[in-house]
Amino acid sequence: MEIFNSADDVLKNIIVGNVIPAVILGILSGFLYFFLGYPYVILLAIISGVAMFIPIIGPWIVYGAIGIFSILIGIHSKVLW
């Protein structure tokens, strides 16, 4: 039974350490995308939250894609702040 209690503690720490920050990042990213006027705000926010699970480079993949998207549709002011 000690092994199951230990596994339960590990799983709770994974949830607290990964899922909650991903949700917070997704929500905050959604607000930022909305205020910057990007289309598909909810989709971008979900992708940002899911990308949080890729260590170190996850969110930067999304930000790079948004930057390229902004350049292609001609919104240079959002890219170059």
pLDDT in tens, 33-52: 888 888 888 998 998 888 88
Task: Give me the pLDDT at residue 64, please.
Answer: 85
CA distances from 64 to 41, 71, 75 (A): 16, 11, 14
Question: Is residue 80 predicted with pLDDT exceeding 60?
Answer: no
Question: Is residue 7 predicted with pLDDT exceeding 80?
Answer: yes
Strand, helix or coil at 57?
coil
- The fraction of the chain above a pLDDT of 90, given in percent, is 10
Q: What is the pTM of this model?
A: 0.72
Task: Give me the pLDDT at residue 31, please.
Answer: 93
Q: Please, which pLDDT band fits residue 77 given cuts at 50, 70 and 90?
A: low
The token duo for 50 is 């899911």
